[in-house]
Structure formats: structure tokens, C-alpha cells
Amino acid sequence: DAGVIQSPRHEVTEMGQEVTLRCKPISGHNSLFWYRQTMMRGLELLIYFNNNVPIDDSGMPEDRFSAKMPNASFSTLKIQPSEPRDSAVYFCASSSTPKPYEQYFGPGTRLTVT
């Protein structure tokens, strides 16, 4: 099995630019999670989807962040406009009912906003 796939692995952009992070969950998994990790704040859950529907987006920092899941095999996390404080590693994870707690994480995208 391929595991969770994220792209790009590294992204460097200038402040004010739009950034799109992509995730392909494990085939057959029906839950998808976006996390952000920084040294200061640790690993934070931003949003999660169940059966392609956003269930909880209370962790999304502000309106500059948006996430979509148009189908079961693809999700995006968009930041527009990006700011230096958005620099972090963004992880995508997936899981399947009845084990939503057993999440499989992707390799992450390291985002640097200058």
C-alpha cells in the first residue's frame, strides 16, 4: 500500500502568495485530517473530514486558511495570502471507521514563507 501521499514535500514562497498543499489518503480510508506542527505550538489539528464532509474546522487559524475534499482520494489545504507565521510542517493523515483514532500520517509538507 502506498500510504498517505503529500505534495509538495517542501514549499518556499513569499509573503502574500497563495499556497496549496495536497494530500491523497490511503485508499479505503474515509476520514482525513490536516495538522500543523511548529516548535512553539507543537502538533495541532486544523480540520478533519469524514466521508468527504468537513466535520470540525475549529482548529483552522483564520479565514486565510481553507480546506477542501472534492472526492475520497484527494484533499487540499490552501493558504491565501500566506504570512511568515504560517511557516510550519503540515501533515495530512487518514483513518477508517471504526478506528478513527488509528491515523496514518503522510511525510508532511515543510512550508517556509519569507
Contacts with another protein, residue ranges (CB under 8 A): 4, 31, 33, 42-45, 48, 50, 55-56, 91, 93, 95, 100-108
Here the cell at position 11 is 514549499
Residue with smaller CB distance to another protein, 74 or 105: 105
Residue with smaller CB distance to another protein, 54 or 81: 54
Residue that is written with C-alpha cell 505534495 in the block: 7
| Buried b or exposed e, range 94-112, using 16+ CB within 10 angstroms | bbeeeeeeebbebebbebe
**Least distance (Å) from another protein to the CB of residue 36?**
11
Q: How far is CA 92 from the centre of its chain?
A: 4
**Least distance (Å) from another protein to the CB of residue 15?**
25
